Amino acid sequence: MSEEVLFESERRQNRAEIASFLRTVAEKLETGGDITLRAGEESVTMRPPSRPTFEVKAEREGPSGGPYERSVEFELEWDEDAGDDADGTLEIE
């Protein structure tokens, strides 16, 4: 399986800025709108289906013995030409 990166951005932001970004994405998902990601001259617009696969992953990585880096990843996945499907329930506390 090959992977083509359509857009990538990584930078330090404070928690309030990240929360605002995630709220905007949540609003677009809730209303069925397109999600446009933009950084400088780069941008990509995508329209997730009504039921994409939602993956949440918490990781700790680094060399044996540390120091470690922790991360939380949120990912939406869907087949470009497939219909909707669903399985399972995810909760956040």
Reply yes or no on whether the pLDDT at 83 is more than 90. no
Reply yes or no on whether the pLDDT at 65 is more than 60. yes
At residue 86 the predicted structure's pLDDT band, cuts being 50, 70 and 90, is: very low
At residue 35 the predicted structure's pLDDT band, cuts being 50, 70 and 90, is: very high
Listed residue (48, 49, 70) closest to 60, CA to CA: 70
Mean pLDDT of 17-30: 96
What is the reported pTM? 0.78
Reply yes or no on whether the pLDDT at 84 is more than 60. no
Reply yes or no on whether the pLDDT at 10 is more than 90. yes
> Distance (Å, rounded) from C-alpha 44 to C-alpha 36?
6
> Distance (Å, rounded) from C-alpha 66 to C-alpha 30?
40
Secondary structure class of 92 (helix, strand, coil): coil
